[in-house]
Amino acid sequence: MSHIQDISVVNLLISFSILIIPLAGFWYFRVGLAKATVIALIRMVVQLSAVAVYLEFIFRLNNPFINLAWVFLMILVGVFTTLKRSNLSPRLLAFPLIISGITSLVVIDAFFLGFIIHLPYVFESQYFIPISGMILGNAMNHNIVGLNAYFDGLVTNQNLYYFLLINGKSKRAALNPFIRQAMLKALNPMVANMSVMGLISLPGMMTGQILGGNSPATAIRYQIMIMVAIFTGCSINLMLSIIFGNKVAFDAMGGVKRNIFRKEKA
């Protein structure tokens, strides 16, 4: 395998010039996305540059406490971003979601890093941080969809919930249609994505490993493992977020608390 061809900073900057095509398209079709795109690009560059600096530092230290603190910080950022994007109350739901994030990560990291990859040192920053980050990043995206669908469905279709609850179903059974709907909305796209992986999508991790000089066989084994880890991690995280969220989302009579949303729904 040949070594990766490095990209100079100048060439990286030049690569931005191709963005003129989509930006021109946005302008032509009056999409109104140009400003948001430029801001997102600037944020991405600043954030990734910062990540490069502190990951270098964290990797060099490779201290388990710092690694754990870093992953915990990622969980916090993920939880608060999820709550903000899905318009849910941090006061009510931050703690349940943090517990869900920690639990799902402990299960996935222990299983995949400790048992499957057989790392002698599970908190090895080279594995622990990027794999935890991939799982948390994906879990955040799917939790935004799933939790929003769940709580929005409960408030919008509260007639169904009360119909089932009062007509003899347990609270758990009355919530089942909403949980099913939320899980389908959140996880269906990932199932679809897995089913076409390699055909119409070449996953980033595999591409990165191949570009980094690893053999395609190793890259694919890692990719398969990480997809299983991500899918399981996202599913566990969403299920636990709903289960733990349910502990705080209902009043004493079984009604959905109106302040579950940042801005109350009518």
Binding site for other proteins (CB under 8 A): 157, 159-160, 162-169, 177, 251-255
Residue 154 C-beta: closest distance to other proteins, Å: 11
Residue 259 C-beta: closest distance to other proteins, Å: 14
Residue 255 C-beta: closest distance to other proteins, Å: 6
Cα gap 140→132, rounded to integer Å: 12
Q: Give the nearer residue to other proteins in terms of CB position, either 157 or 214.
A: 157
Residue 265 C-beta: closest distance to other proteins, Å: 14
Cα gap 13→235, rounded to integer Å: 38
Q: Give the nearer residue to other proteins in terms of CB position, either 165 or 236.
A: 165
Are residues 58 and 67 in contact, defined by beta-carbon separation less than 8 angstroms? yes
Are residues 149 and 78 in contact, defined by beta-carbon separation less than 8 angstroms? no
Residue 158 C-beta: closest distance to other proteins, Å: 8
Q: Give the nearer residue to other proteins in terms of CB position, either 84 or 180.
A: 180
Rg for the chain, CA atoms, rounded:
21
Q: Give the nearer residue to other proteins in terms of CB position, either 108 or 154.
A: 154
Residue 146 C-beta: closest distance to other proteins, Å: 19
Q: Which residues contact 106 (CB under 8 A, 6 or more apart)?
A: none
Are residues 242 and 182 in contact, defined by beta-carbon separation less than 8 angstroms? yes
Cα gap 74→205, rounded to integer Å: 19
The token duo for 71 is 């992953």
Q: Give the nearer residue to other proteins in terms of CB position, either 126 or 156.
A: 156
Q: Give the nearer residue to other proteins in terms of CB position, either 85 or 257.
A: 257
The alpha-helical segments, DSSP class H, found in the chain are: 9-15, 20-28, 34-61, 64-85, 90-109, 125-156, 158-166, 171-195, 204-211, 216-249
